[in-house]
Structure 1
Amino acid sequence: MSTQDPQPESTGSIRRVESSTAASGSSVEETPPSTETTESSSRQSLFAEEELSVLRLRWDEVQSGFVDDPRECVQKADGLVSDVVDRLTTGFSEARSRLEEQWARGEEGSTEDLRLALKRYREFFQRLLAL
């Protein structure tokens, strides 16, 4: 993973990735995002800048140990990547749980909240497919 790749927050939460323009109306855009939109989304971080710095330092420490102990370096890299994936999963699970709690109380949630949730899922899905 390069030092430019997105990293998680230490709290396990995910920073919302939203465009600077608001969609008109309350429906989710049905057309696939343009390449420009997808590339713009993929350049935005899913995590807070402070945590990016910490995780980049952790990666640098892992990578610097390769010459002395390549096997341990790869094991540490695996652990760090697993931690990042776990934090992403936790963040999406927490967001889903909040929506499910609303629904369990009989609250529908606003169309705008649901649109933003779907947008975050779509952007993340597109990033996964681009890997």
Structure 2
Amino acid sequence: MSHDTEHAPREPGTGPGADAAGPERTPGPDLIPQGDRDKLTLRLQQALATFVDGPRQAVEEADAVLDEVTTRFADTLAERRRVLRTGWQAPDADAQTEELRLALRQYREITERLLHMAVPAGQ
């Protein structure tokens, strides 16, 4: 079995354009808080466990969980983008080169993480 490293997720700071001399980056806050992730995971596991007794209801619950996850994901990303923009786009913002460099790095990190997410192929 071969391992496809070309499309494997990369650690922050190891992708194209990473600052070799830059400080070690740590992941930002979770897109969905751990407690909420645990609840959503439990709901999905319950849907999977009830498939035999109620296939349609199990799939409907799995659909509802995915809908909630994608909505929260999109809302969180939109808020992060708004906050990031505020730092350099505000009319009274006198962003210095270093602040702009940091903003660009954050845009790059978020975009690279999104670009390297994989969705399972359909069956």
Question: Does residue 105 in structure 1 map to residue 91 in structure 2?
Answer: yes
Deviation (angstroms), 1:114: 2.6
Taking structure 1 as reference, are residues 129 and 66 closer, same or farther at Cα in structure 2, changes over 3 Å only? closer
If you compute each CA radius of gyration, which structure gives the higher value, 1 or 2?
2
2:71 pairs with 86, 90, 108, which one? 86
The answer for the alignment partner of 1:74 in structure 2 is 59
* Structure 2 alignment gaps of length 5 or more: 1-10, 19-26
* Structure 1 alignment gaps of length 5 or more: 1-17, 32-40
TM-score, with normalisation over the residues of structure 2? 0.60
Let me know the Cα RMSD of the aligned residues: 3.2
Deviation (angstroms), 1:106: 4.0
> Bigger relative contact order, structure 1 or 2, given CA contacts below 8 A and separation 6+?
1
The answer for the alignment partner of 1:35 in structure 2 is none
The superposition leaves residues 59-106 of structure 1 with CA deviations (integer Å, 9 ceiling, x where unpaired) of 111112211211111111111011111111111101111133330334
**Percent identity of equivalent pairs:** 22
Q: In the alignment, residue 30 of structure 1 is paired with which amino acid?
A: G
Give the stretch that moved more between structures: 102-111 or 86-95: 102-111
Structure number with the higher helix fraction is: 1
Q: Distance in 2 between matches of 1:116 and 1:77?
A: 32
